[in-house]
Structure 1
């Protein structure tokens, strides 16, 4: 079965900087369909702050032909062994909005048991350079909304220069995530996300953009000394 995986790991500063300029993941990795190697960011933080781009924290989003290929990569590949010491979640595809080159969206879609099941959301986009200021204006309020939402257990952003941006969030239930998207959450200023999407429809910020929704399959390791971000029953 085709699966996705999302990895987080903290590396020494020199190593993390080196890998930004030399992607350590070979395109010829057996069973790998596509990967995005990114630097983690703090959602909602000021643009010109040391907490915005976290150079030592690495986020890797990957698609695999099957779970065995992922297992072999983590056990046998040099960088895969490094990733195996961090945290990751394995994901089964549910839905897609938009398009993003590289990933091959499976024809077979998984389903959640019910709206109270946990769900994982990933957005990824290639920015139009001249739209960055406008994107920041509309995007930061949404970042704060997702970061502070009581329905998330883990939420972060990531970037790959020059123009790739992404978000990752784990939600306790699909219902809570859907309410957030449509502006129905019982929190302050709940329509930040829906307003931003209307602005994107009016004039797009991106060359390409997709939102992917996943069913979490399993979780491994620790991130910042924490684990069990997925609220499995």
Structure 2
């Protein structure tokens, strides 16, 4: 079965700098469909601050032909072994909006277990350089909305220079996530996301943009000492 995985890992500063220029993930990995190697960022933090771009914290988003290919990569590949000792979640595809080169979206969609099941949302885009100031203006309020939302269990952003940006968020339920998207949440300034989407439709920020929704299958390892970020999944330490 085609699966996705999302990994968070802390690596030495000098290795992080080197990997920004030289991706450590080979395109020849057996069973790997596509991978995005990115530097983690703190959602909603000031643009010019040390907390904005977290050099040394890496986010990797990958698509695999099957789970065996992922297992072999984590056991046999040099960088895969680094990821194996960190945190990751395995994901089953639910829905997609938009398109992004590299990933091969499955025809079949999975189903969430029930209305109380957790859901994972990932956005990824290639920015138009001249649109970046406008994107920041509209995007930072949305980042704060996602970061502070009571339905959000975990969230972060990431970047791959020069112009790839992404977000990753885990939600208690699909309804809480969709309420946030459409501006129906019982929070301050609930329409920040929907207003930003209207602005994107008016004048696009991106060359490519997609939003992907996933069912979390299993969680591995720890991130910042926590190993039970996603409820009701198989937890493997």
Aligned to 1:95: 95
SS of aligned partner of 2:63: strand
SS of aligned partner of 1:80: helix
- Cα RMSD for the two superposed structures: 0.7
Aligned to 1:79: 79
Aligned length: 233
Distance between the aligned counterparts of 1:229 and 1:88, measured in 2? 11
SS of aligned partner of 1:93: strand
SS of aligned partner of 1:82: helix
Instruction: Identify unmatched segments of 5+ residues in structure 1.
Output: none
Distance between the aligned counterparts of 1:153 and 1:116, measured in 2? 13
SS of aligned partner of 2:68: helix
Instruction: Report the CA distance between 1:115 and its aligned residue.
Output: 2.6
SS of aligned partner of 1:112: coil
Q: TM-score, normalised by structure 1?
A: 0.99
Aligned to 2:193: 193
Distance between the aligned counterparts of 1:115 and 1:146, measured in 2? 20
SS of aligned partner of 2:28: coil
Which structure 2 residues correspond to residues 154-165 of structure 1 after superposition, within 5 A? 154-165=154-165
Aligned to 1:13: 13
Instruction: Report the CA distance between 1:152 and its aligned residue.
Output: 1.1
Distance between the aligned counterparts of 1:38 and 1:143, measured in 2? 17
Distance between the aligned counterparts of 2:66 and 2:223, measured in 1? 24
Aligned to 2:180: 180
Instruction: Report the CA distance between 1:58 and its aligned residue.
Output: 0.2
Distance between the aligned counterparts of 2:20 and 2:74, measured in 1? 20
SS of aligned partner of 1:190: coil
Distance between the aligned counterparts of 2:55 and 2:48, measured in 1? 14
The question of 1:152 aligning with 2:160 is answered no
Distance between the aligned counterparts of 2:41 and 2:82, measured in 1? 20
Aligned to 2:223: 223
